[in-house]
Structure 1
């Protein structure tokens, strides 16, 4: 029997040898298929490789890790760089002509330019000795979103709203970046990899279009009657074979959102989110409904707009409050408005190349909320009026007292007192560095590009602190700003070596200086690195020093979504 796999829907069947070389159609989706000839076939013609097989005298096959309509994926060792990669071998019946292969390579060259923490990187494209085209890609150690959905469905558990939003946000960040270059056209759970620490990566940018353009030759009447992508996750205009733009990807992410919240695939019977669960807020459902609008003009105009709406709806609907006591012993409950929730987790802290930042060491950061911006003069004014605390050192200097400039000239104790008044605390160095670096270990809060005047206020370019919203291009992907430049930020920690903290906690607690992070408007570029740190005596009140606050999730006492049934299960913040 001869194995045949449909390049559009992934159906794999076996046909008798007497039909070899003939043209047929896929039983599931109707795509024309060419039955390959059995003559001269080797096990490699079926893309079957065994452990230890060598590819191009460079790659050593370890194991098969995936199989689909376009080909087979193996984990392999790249002996040139001694690192694991994923090798994706394309079915020969997908790319049958030299013109088609060149088109495919052009699409791959576009995909190679995509370098983002939420996109599986494509390294190279080449041929085996048997003439089989393959891609060398980043080995993403994890499992597909499809596998995660199946596990939750098998265990009859719903995916927490917070986790669904975490995944969707990263997918949309990846698409927002990629849409400047390419439209994906085939977003589906199989093309999203779930990594450790709740990270996700999107793969196979542009490959669906290349395979489609090749399969139907120029002038082929069938070409215009076939869609690009996977039918179940295709936008209405894709199914109608109309012109496609980035809003087709927006629709596909909407389908992913529906599936994450309901565990129903687009091929299942239609179901409303509210028919499955009651802990999804109306505002989130509204975001979903717009993403799934039939007319593309009515959808979110971009992945970025979709992401912002999703984050805003989640923050407003699942806002948590903290119990704190005022001077009269009465409970007051400030909200987390203006803060960003960070999941926390394990990350590598420090930098072995700088003495004050060494050694690199793994740190576990618990979930917490962080101010999106440093505390401003306007916010500090409210504190002064309510408490009668003394004004900061530069409070009356017009160079530093703009309402939306960060407050400066406060000592460590004054910053700590404000945080306590607000029901918050100063961040630890671990929390601050986790927020700045992210799980992908960024060099700077915005990524790995060197700083410039559009990203941060540094090198005395302005000669004073800027308003906190001036450098939003330099924010983190999570939406935290001014972590590099503008003003240093007081940390809760004493300033001691990381080794001293671990080996002699009593010494660390008694250290005379307090840690600062982030650099200031006077700092050189190296002080803007996420790992950079310095220490000053806590009494110092300089015009280069401010602060921001955090709330540890362990202090949250209320997690009920707003505007939902009070009997619905609440999102629990992990401790």
Structure 2
């Protein structure tokens, strides 16, 4: 049996020797896999090293990192400078022609000159005593973007748009810098590394071009050579697939494919470029930026990585980041500011929980765009309202256990919460707005995800015995940045507490449904009351030490 690794998803399989020299499809992702001929082993035996093996006079092998379509990578110590490096050994079948080897060495010299915070630095090029070519590179401890995407996919959660943009802007920064000297030709999730601090590193600049020249020089008919596409075909640009001249716009195309995959968790094979992005919290402006990058005609794409970068940054800034108040005469009240709020593009999401009677039936609900306070309204904020309006102090106002300036204001009735919201030029959230922010399109069980709650994420289970300051549980923020949607204090919403089928049906009788809905649980709540679908009814005139509110703003 012959070991074969999918260069796209990393799946390792063994195939019979009878299929040597043939091409098949990966059982996991469907990408093409070429099974090497008998005289071209997948990884030559001489590339297998053990800890403490020496490579030349300079390097000492430490550990195995990974194996891919072009070779194998080890962590090693560079004894000349006493630092860890990554050694990438190319399998013998990658560069079989003299022209390919010469071009590789030339491209490696170019790669050595690339010094950018988002590019894996190449330090050295050499040969083992057995003639195996290797690169000494910066050792970046992290995970590939492919592994990152697979984690989100296995958890059935979308990558937050903010994180997607953060990753893509770094990729495009790297391309903008490198394109002064070299075209990458093989941008894909496997060639992008994410470090622990979310810094991006792109690797393998120039390698694909050398392999392409090597393939062009191999023996075989013209028709056979035309069928070979260097890199991963599913991430190749149209001009690469047609064996036409390639320039930096090929990298623009493949970077666009990566952006679409970050937004949808679907590979280009699953979501071809001509199919639209369908995700409710992805702003149309962001989708348009991605769509332009993957146009078939390279003259219609973004013409540079900097153009792509700036367009994406602008689209995200205009659609997602908090905006300051507009002047009087616009649709915003003159005193309304969205500072300290997060913008939600809105869209459809799954609301409710059929397993709990008060939370059923589940339904797909649409929410229009809105802003939401990052934190519940605090004592300090409410004090400004009291001074400005002369309103009555709420219950517990002078209780030292709950009157710290950064604690959430409590003891307010539903009407008092409404009054504060009106004074601020905002509103109380509807149940749908509140659950959309807490649950997200990923259908999260808790605001931060599906991980069980603990005291780093929220104030629950009476472990403090009182409301905490609003910045205490930042670990429990939503992917969009909202804090304290689980535990601490119940939060008033605009809606009456009624069965969903009645509430969604239109106007409700106050006599039949006098209570208002609160959401999120409080510092005394157990797990079942802080899930994103949980709801409870309170009479609007109650004043409780465990009940506060936050505001939203919508046009």
Tell me if both proteins adopt one fold, taking TM over 0.5 as the criterion: yes
2:337 to 315, 333, 338: 333
Report the alpha carbon displacement of residue 23 of structure 1 after superposing the two structures with TM: 7.5
Which of 238, 241, 248 is matched with 1:239 structurally? 241
CA displacement at 1:322 relative to structure 2 = 6.2
Q: Summarize deviations over 1:199-253 as a string: whole Å, max 9, x none.
A: 1010001101211211332785233442232111111121122221111111111
* 2:136 corresponds to 1:228: no
SS at match of 1:197: coil
Q: Counterparts in 2 of 1:102-501, with a 5 A limit?
A: 102-217=102-217, 221=222, 222-268=224-270, 270=272, 275=278, 277-321=279-323, 331-333=335-337
- Partner of residue 537, structure 1: none
Matches of 2:479 and 2:321 in 1, distance apart?
10
User: Could you tell me which residue of structure 1 aligns to residue 24 of structure 2?
Assistant: 27
**Offset of residue 149 of structure 1:** 0.3
Q: Would you say the 8 A contact 1:9–1:69 is kept in 2?
A: no
CA distance in 1: counterparts of 2:287 and 2:8, whole angstroms: 31
The alignment status of 1:572 with 2:494, answered yes or no, reads no
Query: 1:31 Cα shift?
Result: 5.4
Partners of 1:122 and 1:55 lie apart in 2 by: 17
Structure 1: gaps of 5 or more residues: 325-329, 337-556
Q: Does structure 2 conserve the Cα–Cα contact (< 8 Å) formed by 1:125 and 1:135? A: yes
Alignment of 1:3-152 (within 5 A): 3=3, 24-28=21-25, 29=32, 33-36=36-39, 45=45, 47-152=47-152
Q: 1:144 to 1:574 in 2, by over 3 A?
A: farther
Q: Distance in 1 between matches of 2:291 and 2:2?
A: 45
Query: Aligned equivalents of 2:101 and 2:37: distance in 1?
Result: 17
Q: Structure 1 residue 131: deviation in Å?
A: 1.1
- Provide TM-score, normalisation by structure 1: 0.53
Cα distance in 1 for residues equivalent to 2:213 and 2:8: 12
Q: Give the Å deviation of 1:571.
A: 6.0
Looking at structure 1, the residues matched to 11 and 132 of structure 2 have their Cα atoms a distance apart, in angstroms, of 20
For 1:100 and 1:274, locate their aligned partners in 2 and report how far apart those are by CA, in whole Å.
39
The answer on whether the counterparts of 1:7 and 1:94 sit within 8 Å (CA) in structure 2 is no
Whether the 8 Å CA contact 2:46–2:130 is kept in 1: the answer is no
- Larger Cα-atom Rg: 2
Q: Deviations over 1:356-380 (max 9, x none)?
A: xxxxxxxxxxxxxxxxxxxxxxxxx
- 1:261-306 Cα shifts (integer Å, max 9, x gaps): 111111225596653x311111111111111111111111111000
Between the aligned partners of 1:30 and 1:148, the Cα distance in structure 2 is: 22
CA contact (8 A) 1:10 1:70 kept: no
Q: Measured at CA, do residues 232 and 124 of structure 1 come closer, stay the same or move farther in structure 2, by a change above 3 Å?
A: same
How much has 1:165 moved relative to structure 2?
0.1
